[in-house]
Amino acid sequence: MVQIVEKILTLLKRQELSECLSVLGRHNKSQARRDNAPFLLGPHLFQLFNAAESRRFMRTKMPVLGLPPAEVREHLQEVSTKSKALARLLRRGPQPHVALVLPDDLSNAFTLPAPLPTIRAPKEAVTIETLDLVLDRVAEAFDRKAKQISGAKHHNRPAKEASKAAALRLRSYAAGVLVRRFREKLGHPYHSHVATIAELLSNIPTDTDYVKKVEARAGAGKGQNP
């Protein structure tokens, strides 16, 4: 956490961000006159760095994600099959109940998506369900994920390529999140400023066209089933 904060403090001092910070300063002054909360860039950068680190940690803890696509797909299908089998066994006798918390609106969350969706209550309240029903939904989630995995040939990437891939993911995520937040909170996407921030975060050259493409893809995906 301390290292992330130090990175952010260094980043905020970069000359490339001076114009962006000026825009935020003018916005926050107008918000202060209306007694509204200011828009702070630091916490957003922290969440982006933290999300990237969380993903790296997740992949370290889940080595199966580094396997070739065919093996990952086979693993997910096996988990799905065993979940269904356990659900059938549970229906034959006593089984525990599970309390599922109410669904949260995660549309503006700043954490990278997990490999599989969180199993949540189907209603806007805490729900008590038998474990077999939960396992059935878990099996469905694994089935869906397995079908999404490409069958393309895959080789484990050396450390240098893995690092580049992580930087590309961070750039894409930063562009998508920040352009949405700028549009929501500032009333304008500020593509050029978002491009600058994404480039500083990832050390990969980024222009406004890239940010617009990321925004367009995110908009197109809203109407699709997860």
pLDDT tens track of the chain, all 226 residues? 788 888 889 989 999 999 999 999 999 999 888 888 899 999 999 988 888 777 777 777 787 877 788 888 999 999 999 999 999 999 998 999 988 866 554 444 444 445 666 777 766 666 788 999 999 999 999 998 888 886 544 444 555 676 787 888 889 999 999 999 999 989 999 999 999 999 999 999 999 999 999 999 887 655 333 3
| DSSP state for residue 127 in the 8-state scheme | E
- Angle at the Cα of 221 from the Cα atoms of 125 and 149, rounded to 5 degrees: 90
Pure H helices in the chain: 2-12, 18-33, 41-61, 69-90, 131-148, 159-186, 191-202, 208-221
Residue 225 belongs to some domain of the structure: no
Residue 196 belongs to some domain of the structure: yes
Residues 56 and 161 in one domain: yes
Look up residue 162 and give its amino acid: A
Structural domain boundaries, residue 211 = 2-60+157-219
Residues 161 and 55 in one domain: yes
Residue 104 belongs to some domain of the structure: yes
Residues 140 and 170 in one domain: no
Residues 212 and 175 in one domain: yes
Straight-line distance from the first to the last Cα atom of the chain, in angstroms, rounded to the nearest whole number: 32
Q: What is the model's pLDDT at position 224? A: 38
Instruction: Determine whether 99 is exposed, middle or buried from the number of CB atoms within 10 Å of its CB (0-12, 13-18, 19+).
Output: exposed
What does the block give as tokens for 191?
Answer: 């593509």
Among 89, 122, 148, the domain-final residue is 148
Residues 45 and 113 in one domain: no
Number of domains in the chain: 2
Q: What is the model's pLDDT at position 60? A: 75
Residues 75 and 115 in one domain: yes
